Amino acid sequence: MAYLLDKKLSAVFEVLLRIAIALIPLSHFAAFAFANSTTSLVSAAAAGDVGKEWKEAEALLNWRASLDNQSQTLLSSWGEGSPCKWVGIRCDKAGSLTGLNLSSFGLIGTLSNLSFSSFPHLLAIDLSWNSLYGNIPDQIGNISKLTLLNLAHNDLSETITSSIGRLSRLSYLDFSSNQLSGRIPSEIGLLRALLSLALDTNSLTGSIPTSIGNLGNLYELDLYDNKLSGSIPTTIGNLTKLINLKLMVNKLSGSIPPEINNLTNLRNLVLGSNEFTGHLSQYICHAGSLVHFSISDNHFTGPIPKGLKNCTTLTRIRLDGNQLVGNITEDFSIYPSLIYMDLSYNNLYGELSSKWGQCQNLTSLKVSNNKISGNIPPELSGATQLVELDLSSNHLMGKIPKELRRLKSLITLLLSDNQISGKIPSEIGMLSRMKNLNLAGNNLSGLIPKELGDCSNLLFLNMSRNILEGSIFSEIGRLNSLENLDLSMNALIGKIPPQLGDLPRLEILNISHNNLSGSIPSTFPDISSLTSIDISYNDLEGPIPNIKAFRDAPNEAFQNNKGLCGNVTGLKACPQMIHNPLHRNYVIIILVPLLGTLFVVFITFQVSHKCSQRVMKIENKLTSTQNDDLFAIWSFDGKMVYENIIEATEEFSSKYCIGLGGYGSVYKVELPTSQVVAVKKLHSLPNGETSNQKAFISEIHALTKIRHRNIVKLYGFCAHPRHSLLVYEFLEGGSLLQLLNNEERAKAFEWIKRVNVIKGVANALAYMHHDCSTPIIHRDISSKNVLLDIEYEAHISDFGIARLLKPDSSNWTTLAGTYGYMAPELAYTMEINTKCDVYSFGVLTLEIIMGKHPGDLILSLSPSTTFTTHNMPLNDLLDKRLSLPTNQVASDLLHIASIAIACLHTSAQSRPTMQQVSQEISTQKARLVKPLQMIKLGEVVTV
């Protein structure tokens, strides 16, 4: 959130800056403004200076000729008529070239053939977001009137030319997101007119030149994400107009010079992920304008600065990951604007102040991994905007205050590994938005409150390592979203409630180390999502369910029970499965016929009962079908297909079910024409009103028109009171998730195929976001929703369906998407836009590279990165089941990883668009300069 705000501010700032540049005395400056103003495009020929125009035109055409073929086509308008009318060119009234703006043109080539000396009147160059490579030529220093130079987001390399120091009128210099290396030339200090300097996201080394102190007009200094070392020069204190100072993700060391306190206009001071040491200045924020203060992941010691105490302008504080010490009981006051506060991973002690409860805008409070003691103050519940409260791994005692029920926005509550005791308050059930609840490793006793069943959005529930008693509450069956349940190491008794088998999304279940008895309920085969179970150390008996999670579980998952049986190694086979006649004994000889007879009677009853039910159901359905015109399938004879589907699936028998998607079950259906299709039976339709349904159907109709090689074809749709069906193209390869989870198949899924899958997904998303009449947002990009054909070509499924089934609403419960793929801003706002898909794409891409979901690694890839992850060798990321990639594939993967990481930016605005992503991904990269094993993760992280 704060990041979003910061970004908005800096966007506003940039606009202001551009206006400021445009207002600089010379009147003709206005002409280069990059808005599409054509007012001043007086033809140069009319102005009469033919010789000059010819020279500039020739220089431009020479450059174009040096670019690759595709780029030349993009600039095909060049060459006809006056250069002042060519795309990307601005002239002044005299017909001199003043502006060159080819941002985001997809140009591939170098700058070495652009004869800068031919454009003496040039005021502004914007070639950002292209694929320009090679160095920045020395000649650039000849454009002495230049005020704006933006080469950001290219592949420029080598050192920054010292001739840059001759551009004495430059106000705006942006070389960010390139591959520039070497030192920042000290000549940069000659650019005294500079207002904004961005060299971030490169590979610059050496120290920050002391001459930077001469840039007394600077508002913005971005040097983050480089390899800068040494300490911050004391001359930084001369930059008294500085508003933004961002130096995070470098190797800067030493202590922060006290001169930084001279920067009284500073709003954003971001120094995270460096190697700074020493104490923090006590006077931070003495001028009272600091908004964002982050020093996370450094080696700062000593106390929290007193200056922060009354700094009421703050919206975001990050002090996490240092060695700060001291008693924090009275270190903080009330911050009316504070949104984000992280003090985790320090050596802080004392108690939590009740004042936090008066921070009316606080959405995140994280104090984990310190030595905080005392009780959780009930007053904390006054911070009603809290979305995330992490107090884990401290020495907190006392009870969980029931007042926490007031935190209605809470999504994450982490209280694990403290010494909290007493009962879990039933009021916790009122936190209905909660998705992530961790109370593990405390001394909680009594029953699990059944009200927890009201937290219907829970995805992750961990209450392990407590002394909880009683049985597992049957209301657990209402936690329809639950993916991960850990109740291990408690004193739970009784039977496993059959409702546990109704949880449609449960993936991980750990109920080990309790006193549970009886057999495993027969409902368990219904949990097809289950991937990991642990039921060891209980008193369970009887057969284990014949589902994959149980069949594939290691021995340890079953050990120390009373008498489990089943067809897995380590367990004895269940009695009725013994077929070997040699082992028969009398009991079995008697029992088998007896049980057999009972069984036959039972089955006969069941079958006849089911059949009659089925006949009745089908009859009901057919009659209601005839009375119902809300029924549509395109490209087929609708009614016939509907009936064929019901027939072919024996009315959706589970034996035809091939998967469970977010919105329903998927069946493989062979139509009488022997065409095979995938049919998705939806759980629900948008609520009843016909007008809604009309809109719904017309939008689905639009989706059936989409044809893209990387998007699963939607053939049609049936709306029916009983079943709503989507009919899709059937793909043999199954989902990407299944592929990555299968050792054998994952090994055959080589790097080159993975790169192609990533490209395919990127193309499909770019198409949906940018090439459709209205952008279509997927909202639920995950490895479950990417299907593969036999050639490993990716096909995205469920496009646009998410939005149709969960239409916009301020209601949190309608949040679409899969946990672990959802953009972080969705935790705070419901503003769904294409950038949410971009984020999910980033997660998916890492998942393909790593062979598994990146999990917590995502957090450490954000600007907050801990040093350890930054130093992690890149090849540790790669799926170990494949051998290391080499040559072109290696450099492609590296490039893709860095793009994926850019997609994971916490600020949605800073993420690239899918168009940029797909363009970037398809440009071939130069070979790696060093072996993959030597590349550190930090080198590909962009901030």
* Candidate ranges 138-146, 218-226, 787-795, 906-914; the one touching ligand NAG (CB under 6 A): 138-146
Is there binding between residue 886 and ligand NAG (CB under 6 A)? Answer: no
Is there binding between residue 141 and ligand NAG (CB under 6 A)? Answer: yes
Instruction: Provide, rounded to whole angstroms, the least separation between the CB of residue 892 and ligand NAG.
Output: 35
Is there binding between residue 117 and ligand NAG (CB under 6 A)? Answer: yes
Q: Is residue 681 annotated as involved in ligand binding? A: yes
Q: Please state, as a whole number, how many other Cβ atoms lie within 10 Å of the Cβ of residue 399.
A: 15
Residue 648: CB partners within 8 Å, gap ≥ 6? 656, 669, 670, 671, 672
By CB under 6 A, name the one of 70, 76, 112, 419 that touches ligand NAG. Answer: 419
* Closer to ligand NAG by Cβ: residue 140 or 804: 140
How many residues at the interface with ligand NAG, by CB under 6 A? 31
Is there binding between residue 353 and ligand NAG (CB under 6 A)? Answer: no
| C-alpha distances out from residue 767 to 706, 707, 796, 901, Å | 10, 10, 12, 21
Is there binding between residue 214 and ligand NAG (CB under 6 A)? Answer: yes
Is there binding between residue 327 and ligand NAG (CB under 6 A)? Answer: yes
Instruction: Provide, rounded to whole angstroms, the least separation between the CB of residue 674 and ligand NAG.
Output: 44
* Closer to ligand NAG by Cβ: residue 259 or 403: 259
Instruction: Provide, rounded to whole angstroms, the least separation between the CB of residue 852 and ligand NAG.
Output: 15
* Closer to ligand NAG by Cβ: residue 510 or 834: 510
CA dist 848 and 750 (Å) reads 11
**Chain Cα centroid distance, residue 178:** 23
Instruction: Provide, rounded to whole angstroms, the least separation between the CB of residue 213 and ligand NAG.
Output: 4
DSSP-based three-state secondary structure for 207: coil
Is there binding between residue 443 and ligand NAG (CB under 6 A)? Answer: yes
* Closer to ligand NAG by Cβ: residue 236 or 861: 236
* Closer to ligand NAG by Cβ: residue 444 or 827: 444
Is there binding between residue 135 and ligand NAG (CB under 6 A)? Answer: no
> Residue 135: how many CA atoms within 13 Å on its side-chain side?
13
Is there binding between residue 112 and ligand NAG (CB under 6 A)? Answer: no
By CB under 6 A, name the one of 157, 177, 202, 235 that touches ligand NAG. Answer: 235
* Candidate ranges 44-52, 63-71, 232-240, 360-368; the one touching ligand NAG (CB under 6 A): 232-240
* Closer to ligand NAG by Cβ: residue 443 or 654: 443
Is there binding between residue 165 and ligand NAG (CB under 6 A)? Answer: no
Is there binding between residue 466 and ligand NAG (CB under 6 A)? Answer: no
By CB under 6 A, name the one of 534, 825, 892, 920 that touches ligand NAG. Answer: 534
By CB under 6 A, name the one of 464, 724, 818, 864 that touches ligand NAG. Answer: 464
Instruction: Provide, rounded to whole angstroms, the least separation between the CB of residue 756 and ligand NAG.
Output: 34
Q: Please state, as a whole number, how many other Cβ atoms lie within 10 Å of the Cβ of residue 929.
A: 11
CA dist 64 and 834 (Å) reads 33
Tokens coding 840: 């999910």
- Catalytic residue, candidates 297, 342, 486, 780: 780
Find the angle CA(295)-CA(296)-CA(300) to the nearest 5 degrees.
Answer: 65
Q: How much of the chain is helix, strand and coil, in % rounded to 5?
A: 35, 20, 50
CA terminus-to-terminus distance, the chain: 16
Q: Please state, as a whole number, how many other Cβ atoms lie within 10 Å of the Cβ of residue 258.
A: 12
By CB under 6 A, name the one of 66, 104, 115, 139 that touches ligand NAG. Answer: 139
> Residue 425: how many CA atoms within 13 Å on its side-chain side?
15
> Residue 925: how many CA atoms within 13 Å on its side-chain side?
25
* Closer to ligand NAG by Cβ: residue 370 or 918: 370
Is there binding between residue 349 and ligand NAG (CB under 6 A)? Answer: yes
Q: Report which of 389, 385, 433 is spatially closest to residue 414, judged by C-alpha positions.
A: 389
CA dist 603 and 618 (Å) reads 22
Is there binding between residue 163 and ligand NAG (CB under 6 A)? Answer: yes
Instruction: Provide, rounded to whole angstroms, the least separation between the CB of residue 730 and ligand NAG.
Output: 35
CA dist 37 and 321 (Å) reads 50
Is there binding between residue 237 and ligand NAG (CB under 6 A)? Answer: yes
Burial of 626 (0-12, 13-18, 19+ CB in 10 A): exposed
CA dist 726 and 23 (Å) reads 58
Q: Given CA atoms 610, 616, 618, 624 in this order, what sign does their dihedral have?
A: negative
Site for ligand NAG, residues 395 to 414, rule: CB under 6 A:
none
Q: Report which of 72, 128, 76 is spatially closest to residue 103, judged by C-alpha positions.
A: 128
Backbone torsions φ then ψ of 891, nearest 5 degrees = -70, -35
| C-alpha distances out from residue 186 to 178, 213, 247, Å | 20, 11, 18
Is there binding between residue 350 and ligand NAG (CB under 6 A)? Answer: yes
Is there binding between residue 490 and ligand NAG (CB under 6 A)? Answer: no
* Candidate ranges 137-145, 290-298, 313-321, 867-875; the one touching ligand NAG (CB under 6 A): 137-145
Is there binding between residue 438 and ligand NAG (CB under 6 A)? Answer: no
* Closer to ligand NAG by Cβ: residue 188 or 669: 188
* Closer to ligand NAG by Cβ: residue 211 or 409: 211
Is there binding between residue 303 and ligand NAG (CB under 6 A)? Answer: no
Is there binding between residue 445 and ligand NAG (CB under 6 A)? Answer: yes
Instruction: Provide, rounded to whole angstroms, the least separation between the CB of residue 327 and ligand NAG.
Output: 4
Q: Which residues pair with 564 in a beta bridge?
A: 542
* Closer to ligand NAG by Cβ: residue 516 or 796: 516
Is residue 49 among the annotated active site residues? no
By CB under 6 A, name the one of 178, 488, 735, 910 that touches ligand NAG. Answer: 488
Instruction: Provide, rounded to whole angstroms, the least separation between the CB of residue 374 and ligand NAG.
Output: 9
Instruction: Provide, rounded to whole angstroms, the least separation between the CB of residue 330 and ligand NAG.
Output: 5
By CB under 6 A, name the one of 11, 45, 138, 593 that touches ligand NAG. Answer: 138
* Closer to ligand NAG by Cβ: residue 260 or 411: 260
Residue 109: CB partners within 8 Å, gap ≥ 6? 63, 66, 67, 68, 71, 132, 133
Is there binding between residue 394 and ligand NAG (CB under 6 A)? Answer: no
Find the angle CA(83)-CA(86)-CA(88) to the nearest 5 degrees.
Answer: 115
Instruction: Provide, rounded to whole angstroms, the least separation between the CB of residue 508 and ligand NAG.
Output: 8
Instruction: Provide, rounded to whole angstroms, the least separation between the CB of residue 234 and ligand NAG.
Output: 5
* Closer to ligand NAG by Cβ: residue 444 or 832: 444
Residue 824: CB partners within 8 Å, gap ≥ 6? 839, 906
Site for ligand NAG, residues 748 to 807, rule: CB under 6 A:
none
By CB under 6 A, name the one of 246, 435, 478, 513 that touches ligand NAG. Answer: 513
What DSSP string runs through 286-314?
A: TTS---EEE--SS--EEPPPGGGTT-TT-
Residue 143: CB partners within 8 Å, gap ≥ 6? 116, 119, 120, 122, 125, 167
Element (H, E) at 753: helix 751-766
CA dist 459 and 480 (Å) reads 9
CA dist 362 and 389 (Å) reads 10
By CB under 6 A, name the one of 310, 329, 866, 909 that touches ligand NAG. Answer: 329
Q: Report which of 401, 338, 340, 399 is spatially closest to residue 365, judged by C-alpha positions.
A: 340
Q: What is the dihedral of CA 349, 350, 354, 359, to 10 degrees?
A: -30
Per the CB < 8 A criterion, the answer to whether 725 and 639 are in contact is: no
* Candidate ranges 296-304, 324-332, 570-578, 646-654; the one touching ligand NAG (CB under 6 A): 324-332
User: Annotated binding site for ATP: which residue ranges?
Assistant: 681
Q: Which residues sit at the interface with ligand NAG, rule CB under 6 A? A: 117, 138-139, 141-142, 163, 213-214, 234-235, 237-238, 259, 327, 329-330, 349-350, 419, 421, 443, 445, 464-465, 488-489, 510, 512-513, 532, 534
User: Annotated binding site: which residue ranges?
Assistant: 681
Residues with a catalytic annotation lie at: 780
